[in-house]
A and B are shown apart, each in its own frame.
Chain A
Amino acid sequence: MYSREIDGETLTLSASGWTYKSTFVLFDYETESLWYHLEGTDGLTGISGVYADRFLPEFESTTTRWNRWVSEHPDSGILKYP
Protein backbone atom coordinates (compact mmCIF):
# COMPACT_ATOMS: atom_id res chain seq x y z
CA MET A 1 0.00 0.00 0.00
CA TYR A 2 1.47 3.33 -1.06
CA SER A 3 0.86 6.96 -0.27
CA ARG A 4 -0.57 8.75 -3.31
CA GLU A 5 -0.05 12.28 -2.06
CA ILE A 6 2.67 14.41 -3.61
CA ASP A 7 3.31 18.15 -3.48
CA GLY A 8 -0.08 18.67 -1.88
CA GLU A 9 -1.82 16.84 -4.73
CA THR A 10 -3.62 13.51 -4.56
CA LEU A 11 -2.85 11.13 -7.41
CA THR A 12 -5.08 8.40 -8.83
CA LEU A 13 -2.97 5.31 -9.44
CA SER A 14 -3.75 2.50 -11.83
CA ALA A 15 -2.10 -0.42 -13.60
CA SER A 16 -0.53 0.83 -16.85
CA GLY A 17 -1.00 -2.46 -18.65
CA TRP A 18 2.74 -3.05 -18.60
CA THR A 19 4.62 -5.44 -16.37
CA TYR A 20 8.34 -5.45 -15.72
CA LYS A 21 9.82 -8.66 -14.30
CA SER A 22 6.32 -9.89 -13.45
CA THR A 23 5.57 -6.76 -11.41
CA PHE A 24 2.88 -4.36 -12.50
CA VAL A 25 4.05 -0.94 -13.62
CA LEU A 26 1.63 1.68 -12.31
CA PHE A 27 0.84 5.12 -13.63
CA ASP A 28 -1.11 8.11 -12.36
CA TYR A 29 -4.17 9.41 -14.23
CA GLU A 30 -3.19 13.02 -13.57
CA THR A 31 0.14 13.11 -15.45
CA GLU A 32 0.52 9.58 -16.89
CA SER A 33 3.86 9.30 -15.11
CA LEU A 34 4.96 5.70 -14.66
CA TRP A 35 5.56 4.39 -11.15
CA TYR A 36 7.44 1.20 -10.27
CA HIS A 37 8.44 -0.53 -7.04
CA LEU A 38 12.17 -1.01 -7.48
CA GLU A 39 13.70 -3.97 -5.68
CA GLY A 40 15.14 -3.04 -2.31
CA THR A 41 13.15 0.17 -1.96
CA ASP A 42 10.20 0.98 0.31
CA GLY A 43 7.82 2.52 -2.14
CA LEU A 44 7.13 3.58 -5.70
CA THR A 45 9.70 5.44 -7.79
CA GLY A 46 8.63 7.62 -10.67
CA ILE A 47 10.41 6.23 -13.74
CA SER A 48 8.87 8.39 -16.44
CA GLY A 49 7.06 11.66 -16.98
CA VAL A 50 6.48 14.67 -14.73
CA TYR A 51 7.14 12.68 -11.58
CA ALA A 52 10.33 10.97 -12.76
CA ASP A 53 12.71 10.43 -9.83
CA ARG A 54 10.01 11.25 -7.29
CA PHE A 55 9.02 8.77 -4.58
CA LEU A 56 5.77 7.55 -3.01
CA PRO A 57 6.50 5.74 0.29
CA GLU A 58 4.71 2.56 1.23
CA PHE A 59 2.59 1.89 4.30
CA GLU A 60 2.63 -1.34 6.24
CA SER A 61 0.20 -4.02 5.18
CA THR A 62 -0.21 -7.69 6.01
CA THR A 63 -0.92 -10.52 3.60
CA THR A 64 -2.65 -13.31 5.47
CA ARG A 65 -5.79 -15.41 5.56
CA TRP A 66 -9.18 -13.96 6.48
CA ASN A 67 -9.69 -16.20 9.51
CA ARG A 68 -6.38 -15.12 11.01
CA TRP A 69 -6.92 -11.42 10.20
CA VAL A 70 -10.43 -11.24 11.63
CA SER A 71 -9.41 -13.07 14.82
CA GLU A 72 -6.86 -10.31 15.43
CA HIS A 73 -9.13 -7.52 14.16
CA PRO A 74 -12.75 -8.50 14.85
CA ASP A 75 -13.96 -5.06 13.79
CA SER A 76 -12.25 -5.20 10.40
CA GLY A 77 -14.15 -4.07 7.34
CA ILE A 78 -13.82 -6.08 4.15
CA LEU A 79 -13.85 -4.79 0.60
CA LYS A 80 -17.21 -5.17 -1.09
CA TYR A 81 -17.26 -6.55 -4.63
CA PRO A 82 -16.94 -3.47 -6.85
Chain B
Amino acid sequence: MKFPARRVRRLDQATLRQAESPARRCGIPSLTGEYVTAPDLRFCAFTVAATALLSACGDLFSSTPGPVAVSRSDDTVIIVDQTGKRWDVGHGRTYGLSPSKYQFGLGPFAIAPIQDPQMLAPTDPGYPSFRETFRVMGVALNGSVRAYPLGIMSRHEVANEIFGEAHVSVAY
Protein backbone atom coordinates (compact mmCIF):
# COMPACT_ATOMS: atom_id res chain seq x y z
CA MET B 1 0.00 0.00 0.00
CA LYS B 2 1.25 3.40 -0.85
CA PHE B 3 0.78 6.15 1.76
CA PRO B 4 0.03 9.68 0.58
CA ALA B 5 2.93 12.07 0.88
CA ARG B 6 2.79 14.12 4.11
CA ARG B 7 2.87 17.86 3.82
CA VAL B 8 5.38 19.29 6.23
CA ARG B 9 4.59 22.80 7.52
CA ARG B 10 7.68 24.84 7.91
CA LEU B 11 7.90 27.63 10.46
CA ASP B 12 7.51 30.68 8.29
CA GLN B 13 8.20 34.29 9.11
CA ALA B 14 4.55 35.05 9.84
CA THR B 15 4.36 32.31 12.47
CA LEU B 16 7.59 33.45 14.09
CA ARG B 17 6.38 37.05 14.19
CA GLN B 18 3.12 36.02 15.83
CA ALA B 19 5.07 34.13 18.46
CA GLU B 20 6.70 37.40 19.51
CA SER B 21 3.53 39.46 19.39
CA PRO B 22 2.61 41.72 22.32
CA ALA B 23 -0.22 39.36 23.18
CA ARG B 24 2.20 36.52 23.64
CA ARG B 25 4.63 38.61 25.63
CA CYS B 26 1.84 39.69 27.93
CA GLY B 27 0.73 36.14 28.37
CA ILE B 28 -2.98 36.56 27.84
CA PRO B 29 -4.51 33.63 29.67
CA SER B 30 -6.64 31.13 27.82
CA LEU B 31 -10.37 30.98 28.39
CA THR B 32 -10.02 27.58 30.01
CA GLY B 33 -7.84 28.96 32.79
CA GLU B 34 -4.56 27.34 31.94
CA TYR B 35 -1.37 29.34 32.19
CA VAL B 36 -0.30 29.51 28.58
CA THR B 37 2.11 31.78 26.85
CA ALA B 38 0.70 31.72 23.34
CA PRO B 39 -2.05 34.24 22.67
CA ASP B 40 -5.58 32.90 22.84
CA LEU B 41 -7.11 34.09 19.59
CA ARG B 42 -10.67 33.86 20.91
CA PHE B 43 -9.81 36.30 23.71
CA CYS B 44 -8.09 38.65 21.26
CA ALA B 45 -11.05 38.51 18.87
CA PHE B 46 -13.46 39.24 21.73
CA THR B 47 -11.39 42.22 22.88
CA VAL B 48 -11.26 43.66 19.35
CA ALA B 49 -15.00 43.16 18.85
CA ALA B 50 -15.86 44.65 22.24
CA THR B 51 -13.69 47.71 21.61
CA ALA B 52 -15.27 48.21 18.18
CA LEU B 53 -18.76 47.89 19.68
CA LEU B 54 -18.06 50.40 22.45
CA SER B 55 -16.60 52.85 19.93
CA ALA B 56 -19.70 52.50 17.77
CA CYS B 57 -22.06 53.27 20.69
CA GLY B 58 -20.72 56.82 20.82
CA ASP B 59 -23.54 58.23 22.89
CA LEU B 60 -23.59 55.44 25.42
CA PHE B 61 -19.88 54.86 25.97
CA SER B 62 -17.33 57.47 24.93
CA SER B 63 -14.23 55.78 23.57
CA THR B 64 -11.96 58.60 24.70
CA PRO B 65 -14.15 60.16 27.34
CA GLY B 66 -13.27 62.85 29.76
CA PRO B 67 -15.33 63.90 32.74
CA VAL B 68 -18.98 64.05 31.80
CA ALA B 69 -19.64 67.28 33.67
CA VAL B 70 -17.53 69.70 35.62
CA SER B 71 -18.71 72.13 38.23
CA ARG B 72 -16.61 74.41 40.37
CA SER B 73 -16.94 76.27 43.65
CA ASP B 74 -13.96 77.47 45.73
CA ASP B 75 -11.75 74.41 46.22
CA THR B 76 -14.25 71.90 44.93
CA VAL B 77 -14.15 70.62 41.39
CA ILE B 78 -16.68 67.90 40.75
CA ILE B 79 -16.29 65.51 37.86
CA VAL B 80 -19.02 63.02 37.10
CA ASP B 81 -18.29 59.56 35.80
CA GLN B 82 -20.28 57.42 33.39
CA THR B 83 -22.33 55.91 36.20
CA GLY B 84 -23.30 59.37 37.44
CA LYS B 85 -21.08 59.19 40.50
CA ARG B 86 -19.49 62.48 41.53
CA TRP B 87 -15.84 62.86 42.49
CA ASP B 88 -14.24 65.99 43.94
CA VAL B 89 -10.83 66.37 42.32
CA GLY B 90 -10.25 70.01 43.30
CA HIS B 91 -7.55 69.19 45.84
CA GLY B 92 -5.60 67.16 43.29
CA ARG B 93 -4.63 70.46 41.64
CA THR B 94 -2.10 71.04 44.44
CA TYR B 95 -0.25 68.06 42.98
CA GLY B 96 -0.50 69.35 39.43
CA LEU B 97 -3.44 67.13 38.49
CA SER B 98 -5.80 68.97 36.18
CA PRO B 99 -9.49 68.09 36.56
CA SER B 100 -9.97 68.07 32.80
CA LYS B 101 -7.37 65.37 32.28
CA TYR B 102 -9.09 62.56 34.13
CA GLN B 103 -10.25 60.03 31.57
CA PHE B 104 -12.77 57.24 31.15
CA GLY B 105 -14.73 57.49 34.41
CA LEU B 106 -16.02 53.94 34.13
CA GLY B 107 -17.30 54.03 37.68
CA PRO B 108 -16.05 52.39 40.88
CA PHE B 109 -17.38 48.92 40.08
CA ALA B 110 -16.22 48.52 36.48
CA ILE B 111 -12.88 47.01 37.41
CA ALA B 112 -13.32 44.91 40.52
CA PRO B 113 -10.24 44.18 42.63
CA ILE B 114 -9.32 40.64 43.63
CA GLN B 115 -10.46 40.49 47.23
CA ASP B 116 -9.36 37.10 48.47
CA PRO B 117 -6.46 36.05 46.25
CA GLN B 118 -5.83 32.32 46.24
CA MET B 119 -2.42 30.91 45.40
CA LEU B 120 -1.40 27.72 43.69
CA ALA B 121 1.55 26.02 45.37
CA PRO B 122 4.16 24.13 43.33
CA THR B 123 2.55 20.83 44.33
CA ASP B 124 -0.99 21.85 43.32
CA PRO B 125 -2.55 20.64 40.05
CA GLY B 126 -2.52 23.34 37.40
CA TYR B 127 0.73 24.89 38.61
CA PRO B 128 2.35 26.25 35.43
CA SER B 129 5.41 24.70 33.91
CA PHE B 130 8.73 26.33 34.72
CA ARG B 131 9.16 26.80 30.97
CA GLU B 132 6.26 29.22 30.57
CA THR B 133 7.29 32.78 29.75
CA PHE B 134 4.18 34.80 30.53
CA ARG B 135 4.88 38.01 32.44
CA VAL B 136 4.31 38.25 36.17
CA MET B 137 4.69 40.67 39.05
CA GLY B 138 6.77 38.85 41.64
CA VAL B 139 6.77 39.71 45.31
CA ALA B 140 8.70 38.31 48.28
CA LEU B 141 7.59 39.68 51.66
CA ASN B 142 7.53 38.35 55.21
CA GLY B 143 8.56 34.89 54.11
CA SER B 144 5.91 34.54 51.38
CA VAL B 145 6.84 34.47 47.70
CA ARG B 146 4.03 35.04 45.19
CA ALA B 147 3.68 35.76 41.50
CA TYR B 148 0.78 37.64 39.88
CA PRO B 149 0.34 37.05 36.14
CA LEU B 150 -0.02 40.34 34.29
CA GLY B 151 -2.78 38.84 32.18
CA ILE B 152 -4.94 38.49 35.30
CA MET B 153 -3.77 41.76 36.90
CA SER B 154 -4.58 43.78 33.79
CA ARG B 155 -8.23 42.73 34.19
CA HIS B 156 -8.51 43.54 37.91
CA GLU B 157 -5.78 46.14 38.43
CA VAL B 158 -5.63 45.55 42.18
CA ALA B 159 -5.34 42.48 44.39
CA ASN B 160 -5.83 43.18 48.10
CA GLU B 161 -3.40 40.85 49.82
CA ILE B 162 -2.05 39.86 53.20
CA PHE B 163 1.59 38.87 53.59
CA GLY B 164 1.99 37.76 57.18
CA GLU B 165 1.33 40.89 59.22
CA ALA B 166 1.38 43.27 56.27
CA HIS B 167 -1.78 44.27 54.43
CA VAL B 168 -0.87 45.33 50.90
CA SER B 169 -2.38 46.00 47.51
CA VAL B 170 -0.71 44.45 44.51
CA ALA B 171 -1.41 46.94 41.74
CA TYR B 172 -0.62 46.76 38.06
Interface residues of A (CB under 8 A from B): 1-5, 10, 12-21, 24-27, 32, 34, 36, 38, 45, 47-49, 52-53, 59-67, 69-71, 73-82
Contact = CB atoms under 8 A, between A and B. Distances in A.
Interface stretch (B13-21, B44-52, B54-62, B115-123): B115-123
A21 B101 contact: yes
Nearest to B157: A15
Interface of B: 27, 29, 33, 35, 79, 81-83, 87-92, 95, 97, 101-115, 117-122, 126-128, 130-141, 144-150, 152, 156-161, 166-171
A32 B120 CA distance: 32
Contacts, number: 198
A11 B83 CA distance: 23
A52 B76 CA distance: 13
A35 to B, nearest CB: 9
Contact of A17 (B92, B106, B114, B135): B106
Nearest to A41: B95
A81 B29 contact: yes
Nearest to B153: A79
A9 to B, nearest CB: 10
B136 A64 contact: yes
B101 A82 contact: no
A40 B90 CA distance: 21
A81 B152 contact: yes
A14 B107 CA distance: 11
B149 A2 contact: no
Contacts of A2: 168-169, 171
19 contacts: A4-B167, A4-B169, A12-B160, A15-B113, A18-B102, A34-B92, A48-B91, A59-B141, A59-B166, A59-B168, A64-B138, A66-B128, A66-B134, A66-B149, A73-B140, A75-B122, A76-B122, A78-B147, A79-B117
CB-based closest 4 A-B pairs: A77-B119, A17-B106, A47-B92, A15-B111
Contacts of B166: 3, 5, 59
B128 A78 contact: yes
Contact of A64 (B104, B121, B135, B161): B135
Contact of A1 (B112, B121, B171): B171
